[in-house]
């Protein structure tokens, strides 16, 4: 059975739902903008990913990123309707 392509991220947010914190990496020079870094500097938030909590920037009501224009490379490159997107959606709605 072939899955239909996903054409929009609207009303989803599954990729942010268990991310914990925005996936910035200093390896590729991707860093949180200084004016948005407050919660990312708090050690209490560093283990959010291990606990599978929603991303700090994710708004569960709107199911959107609060700082979409500043999202890290990993978020920009997450492929809509790609293998990971479809797998995560299938796991959510099983």
Residues 63-91 have pLDDT tens digits of 899 888 888 888 999 999 999 999 988 88
**Residue listed under structure tokens 């708004």:** 59
For residue 64, list its beta bridge partners: 59
Task: For residues 6-31, give the mean pLDDT.
Answer: 82
At 16 the pLDDT is 92
C-alpha to C-alpha distance for 11 and 17, rounded to whole angstroms: 12
Q: Which helix (H) or strand (E) holds 64?
A: strand 64-65
pTM for the structure as a whole: 0.75
pLDDT bucket at 29, cuts 50 / 70 / 90 = confident
Q: Domain coordinates of the chain in residue numbers?
A: 14-92
Mean pLDDT of 16-38: 79
For 3-17, write each residue's pLDDT tens digit. 666 788 888 898 998
């Amino acid at each position: 059975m072939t899955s239909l392509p996903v054409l929009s991220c609207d009303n989803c947010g599954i990729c942010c739902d268990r991310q914990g914190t925005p996936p910035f990496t200093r390896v590729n020079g991707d860093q949180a903008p200084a004016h948005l870094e407050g919660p990312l500097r708090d050690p209490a938030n560093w283990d959010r990913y291990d606990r599978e909590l929603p991303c700090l920037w994710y708004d569960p009501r709107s199911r959107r990123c609060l700082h979409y224009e500043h999202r890290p490379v990993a978020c920009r490159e997450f492929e809509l309707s790609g293998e990971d997107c479809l797998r995560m959606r299938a796991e959510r709605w099983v």
